[in-house]
Copies of this chain bind each other. A is one copy, B any other.
Amino acid sequence: MKIGLIGLGKMGYNLAQNILSHKHEVAAFDVDVNNVNKVKEAGGIGAASIKELVAGLEAPRVIWMMVPAGEITESVLTELKELLTPGDIVIDGGNSNYKDSIRRADELAETGIHFLDVGTSGGMAGARNGACTMIGGNPDAFATVEQLFQDISVENGYLYAGKSGSGHYLKMVHNGVEYGMMQSIAEGFEVLDKSDFDFDYEKVARVWNNGSVIRSWLMELTENAFSKDAHLDELKGIMHSSGEGKWTLETALDLQVATPVIAMSLMMRYRSLEDDTFSGKVVSALRNEFGGHSVVKK
């Protein structure tokens, strides 16, 4: 199969190598020509523009977008809509909001173009060596490219999830679960860290990865992290987030699902972005008001 790949960042470049290693062709475009050159070195075909990329593919075309969610995805799709012809298939492998994906599938369907929303998990290593992919959209379009998903995913690592939006929905919820699992592990290690015992965290993570109920890839990554920096002394505990956890929580609110653990995982991330909080000042001021408790002045 010949795949047009747009977006060659951390995930896209690894994906290009993955696709190429399965004897597919890759025609690749990125706003950074250096990234395009890297794919050319890896055996792919370079394109200087989306227009050139599309022109180099025969209908029915298969285009995989691996670009940041939001405005960039929107503008690439707008451009593609002008260039593609009925029967072509556009795959959005980024972390788009599932509501956008439903809308985009509807819009493209009006011109006969198929749109598959694909959640991709497994990090950069997965993108390179075997990803986990969750696919939503038209079932016939999926059938046309199923072989591609089978090739780039680990065994049993792809799932046609249903109608448009279901792929990105599944990825969104996956990330919500991921937030909760990460925070669970993190809280556990903090309870170890504040104790009187003198644990070797790398060894703890290792034993927890061998035979325990909580063995998991995230715990393996924890082991890796501690192997490099035994007490994570070099890091600050600032936890950024890229949106899917928030979307999961917002979706839960819309559906009236109680998801306290996902909520708290996200909120502790927000809290970590602050050196000090206004809410803390209010509570501190109140304790001083009624009890004369001393406050910490700046």
Contacts and interface: CB of A to CB of B under 8 A. Distances in A.
Given A191-B251, A250-B253, A264-B264, A210 B155 contact: yes
A291 B213 CA distance: 10
Interface of A is mostly: helix
A298 B235 contact: yes
B286 A232 contact: no
Nearest to A156: B210
Using C-beta atoms within 8 Å of the partner chain, give the interface range for chain A: 35 or more
A255 B225 contact: no
A265 interface: yes
A24 interface: no
Contacts of A242: 293
Contact of A262 (B178, B184, B262): B184
B132 A190 contact: no
Interface string A158-186: 11011101100110011011111111111
Given A156-B207, A186-B279, A210-B132, A236 B180 contact: no
Contact of A239 (B268, B284, B291): B284
A238 interface: yes
A234 B225 CA distance: 39
A134 B207 contact: yes
Contact of A238 (B163, B177, B280): B280
A185 B175 CA distance: 11
A289 B210 contact: no
B216 A214 contact: yes
Contact of A292 (B10, B236, B255): B10
Interface in A189-205: 189-195, 197-199, 203-204
14 contacts: A153-B210, A153-B211, A156-B207, A169-B192, A177-B188, A177-B214, A181-B214, A182-B287, A184-B262, A187-B261, A234-B297, A237-B277, A240-B287, A260-B267
